[in-house]
Structure 1
Amino acid sequence: MQNQTLPRKVTLFSQVKRSKGTWTPVIRRTAGGPDEKTTGRGNHRVEGQQQSICLSDCLTHNFKTVSGSCGKMNVVKVAAAFLMLLCLLLLAALIGLGVQYIQDQTSCRRKASQMWMNNVNLTADGQELLRSNSKMKDIIHNLSQKITRLQTDRNKLKANNSELMRDREDFKKQVFENARCSANWTQFGNVCYLYMKSLEKTWNESRDDCVSRGAQLAVISSEDEMTFISAFFSRGWIGLTDVETENVWKWIDGTSPKTKHWRVGQPDNYANEDCAEINEKEWNDLSCSSPNHWICNKKLP
């Protein structure tokens, strides 16, 4: 018994674009008719013709919409190509991100190492600063103690100085209140001075006059006394001579001068000058026989 099948028709729809931008559906028919037998061989031929028609349409790019297996094949291929392209893009992005990650990790490690070294250096510097600060504190403490001791010593010196000033004032009061010099005499400390400026005598005569008044030709024993005499007396004999030994000057009480106030170039022993006078705040040697004013002094009892 022969197998009979109904005639198979495959209708393919395509659209033909017209000149004004419209599309018109076109019907295609595949091979096969009412007398064609549906043998295995005939089926293969029909399927081959359908595939060739679909491939022809796809290759000619006429943008025709087909039905059946041809349309499914195009969709799968496009989807596969799109997925492959997407996979390639993702792979490239992953590779780029991996390279960037490795570079970032390397940079981070390098920066971390540098920060660690900086931290080590800062720690060492901080410890050195702490040691220096400790030393400075010790120095400041020692200086503070020294300043305190110095202030204490200064206060003691001030107290002693104040006490000495009071003692000196008390002493001056006692001297001036209890032992006054006679009239025409000038007192300095506990010594009275008489300046004979209205008369002139030789050195020996002046000495004798002072002795008759219970005094002596002025003996100057300190800088303060010399300053005082220079302020009150301009010129006159003083009790200084080298009569006994040339160039060995002594006071009339036998003592040697503690301070010397010779004028520049004096004593020069010009014309046998063996006696001394005070002249404008300085000493000068002069002939003992020359007339001159004189100065007497005597200590208060």
Structure 2
Amino acid sequence: MEEIYANVDDDNSSKPIQHSKASQNQSGSRRFHGAVVLCLVLLSVFLLIGLISLGVHYHNSVCGEDDKLSTIKTNLTELLQASQKKLSSMTEERNKLKTNLSEMTEERNGLKTNLTEMTEENNNLQSLLEQKTTCPDGWTKLCSSCYFLSTESGSWTTGREDCRTRGADLVVIHSSEEQIFLSAFTNTKTWIGLNDRDREETWKWVDGTPLTVTYWGSNEPNNGKVIIELGEEDCVEISGGQSSKWNDISCESSLRWICEKPAQP
């Protein structure tokens, strides 16, 4: 009997021990769950903080980009306005130039018309003048001038003096038409009214006009060879004939001469 009671007591004494272990297990489980919950809460807090930081950063970035875009837009607007103003100014200037060009063209056309009319009028007057003017006997007429070819020969000065006694002077050549006429007018070397006696290589006509058109022969004028008894070549002859050219020669050479004077009504 004692053994039976002893076993019963043993069974009853083991139950509190088992209950204590269960309590310990439940306490550990609660601590574990609490730690998990704490971790989850902390993780949520960190996530929230991260989201808030990201939102702030994004907001600042967007604001910064908006400022940049606003600045770019302002600059582009100012540039566009400046370009439009420049284009407007250039367009206005171009229109003014076109107007000026149009006026100048019109003025040029008017001048051309006037020149044509004046040329035609001059030709008509010249024609009438030629019809109404005559030359003395022994003289040949070309346009409004009369020409005389001497039969005698002498120095350039002698020829000029003879022309003056006839109310004329040695011939002055100012055009190709006159040069061609004189080439056929004489077929021998003949004095014309050109010289550089006052200043070497400064050629001028007897009427004081400068030399503008020339018909010098090859390598002329060259002042030639100085002949002591005749002097330097300061006066000019026309060779005459089909290919008539000019040549400088000593003024003391003996040649025929051509006189010229205006035709008379």
The residue type equivalent to 2:171 in the other structure is: V
Matched, 1:257 2:257: no
How far, CA to CA, are the matches of 1:175 and 1:282 in structure 2?
34
1:297 corresponds to which of 240, 260, 265: 260
What aligned pairs does 1:77-88 form with structure 2 within 5 A after superposition?
A: 83-88=37-42
Alpha-carbon contact 1:217-1:294 (below 8 Å) kept? no
How far, CA to CA, are the matches of 2:256 and 2:85 in structure 1?
79
The residue type equivalent to 1:278 in the other structure is: E
TM-score (norm 1): 0.53
Q: Which has the higher contact order (CA 8 A, sep 6+)?
A: 2
5+ long unaligned stretches in structure 2 = 1-7, 200-205, 215-219, 239-244
Q: 1:87 Cα shift?
A: 3.3
Match of 2:90 in 1: 136
1:219 corresponds to which of 158, 162, 171: 171
TM-score (norm 2): 0.58
Match of 1:24 in 2: none
How far, CA to CA, are the matches of 2:47 and 2:34 in structure 1?
20
Match of 1:201 in 2: 153
Determine which structure has the larger helix proportion and give its number. Answer: 2
Match of 2:112 in 1: 158
Q: How many residues align?
A: 228
Alpha-carbon contact 1:218-1:297 (below 8 Å) kept? yes
How far, CA to CA, are the matches of 1:183 and 1:117 in structure 2?
99
Determine which structure has the larger strand proportion and give its number. Answer: 1
**What RMSD over aligned residues (CA atoms) do the two structures have, in Å?**
5.0
Deviation track 1:236-259 (CA, whole Å, cap 9, x = no partner) reads 1235799xxx959xxxxxx74222
**Measured at CA, do residues 90 and 193 of structure 1 come closer, stay the same or move farther in structure 2, by a change above 3 Å?**
farther
Match of 1:281 in 2: 246
Q: Give the % identical residues.
A: 18
Q: 1:91 Cα shift?
A: 2.5
**Greater C-alpha Rg:** 1
What aligned pairs does 1:168-183 form with structure 2 within 5 A after superposition?
A: 168-174=122-128
